[in-house]
Amino acid sequence: MKTPDVIYLIDCGDEITWCDDPNPSGDLEPDDVVMYEKSSVKSAAPALLEALEAAKSKIECSQRAHERASVFLVDEALEIIDAAIKQARGE
């Protein structure tokens, strides 16, 4: 079983419980719910952003380059994106 990346603490009046749905009953007030995100998800975001920016730069370069070079650069950009996705997933 995989633990959720985000959970919500819900104030039920006499107790606090958690759920992966921010409003499971449909009648909760926003002030009764607090979101918590897994630290590995938070730490993956900057690395993912950096990798995606690098991929974008490579693709933009490929648009200005010779067609043969474009294929190479797009393939390289896709590898960067795949690596970022794996990192974000904790693989």
Query: Is the C-alpha dihedral spanning 14, 18, 20, 22 positive or negative?
Result: positive
Residue that the structure tokens 């819900």 belong to: 10
pTM strictly above 0.75 = no
Is the separation of the CB atoms in 42 and 67 below 8 Å?
A: no
Task: Look at residue 86 and tell me whether its pLDDT is greater than 80.
Answer: no
Instruction: Please give the average per-residue pLDDT across 83-89, as a whole number.
Output: 72
Give the pLDDT confidence score for residue 37 in this predicted structure.
82
15-68 tens-digit pLDDT = 988 888 888 888 888 888 998 888 776 666 677 777 777 877 777 676 666 655
Q: Where do the domains of the chain lie?
A: 6-37, 40-89
Give the pLDDT confidence score for residue 63 in this predicted structure.
64
